[in-house]
Structure 1
Amino acid sequence: MSLQLKDIQRMRKVLGLTQSDLARLSGVSQSLIAKIEAGRIDPSFSKTMSIFRTLQKLQLKNSKKAGDVMTKDVLSVDADSKVAEVVKLMRDHAISQMPVLSRGEVVGSVSEKVLIKNLSNKESAKVLFIRKVKEVMEPTFPMVNGDTPADLLIPMLNFYSAILVMNGKRMAGIVTRADLLKPE
């Protein structure tokens, strides 16, 4: 997205800043901000960049992070578990996907979608339910850290049903589409 001078006033107001606040934080004068917003001046490139950098830093600081929107109590399943156990967990907890672990490490994912896909491959539910999760699992969900801006998760969730939030190698939480749709 390319920013234009006319965006300064809108961005400043969204952040709840006065012209004086923005000027002080950007290292420019309040009168320069007023003239830019009124369209009466064409500021230097360096002053413009200073203002936009300040606005973008403040937007990032004020935006929600993955750690803010994640569900902390992540249900997971062991790779050697039976599919029947996964189905029961999903039903009991009203979830549609979960990470698959082996010795505490994330090794894959399982979802209603992959289970249905196995059923549609002419495999009966009875046969599917006795298989091990590692036989039907898919690759792991994408992983991000807790400081990742939540806005960056939106395009990822167009392709993946969940995103794992990691704290080093430890799983700290999970973000699904439903988590982003929660009211503030």
Structure 2
Amino acid sequence: MPDFNDLTLLPFCAGLTLIGLIGSWFAWRRRGAAAGTRGVAWSLLPVSLYLTGLLELVWDVVRSAVSWVTHLIFSPTVWAGVALFGVSVVLYVVSGFARSRRGDTPREPKKQKQPKPAGELTTTGPAPASAAPAKAAKPKTKGGQQDSSEFDEIEDILKRHGIN
């Protein structure tokens, strides 16, 4: 790409600003003051970029980006690297599936839980009531149904709330 110096950039920026100001004047007449003012704002940008030195910076960034993209597109070594990257990703994913299907994951031996007596205090607190040993079977009446006493009703309420 050609390298521009100050003598080339100044007329270019002045020309862009002049064309923009002429367009802004027409926009002001046809669409109103808001459109014209916005056009003047955009028209002043090329000269302001030149005067602050940012135009050279923008030019260098664009030139470097274009050089990088052309190198990326037309270089066979870059495409070989992209292909190898893709192969490595595919192999990694396939190895994850193979490991999960075959069971290659190292497993820790299962610890045998020893039953704790009901009511014993542990580091986490007392065992919940549901972990207590099962209660004796309730006596049944002649018809095979349970006694309908107040205690049975209270017990049903507690069971509904998850309290045994």
Fold similarity call, TM over 0.5: no
TM category, shorter: under 0.3
Q: Which has the larger radius of gyration?
A: 2
TM-score (structure 1 length as normaliser): 0.22
**TM-score after normalising by structure 2:** 0.24
Greater RCO between the two (CA within 8 Å, min separation 6)? 1
Structure with the bigger percentage of strand: 1
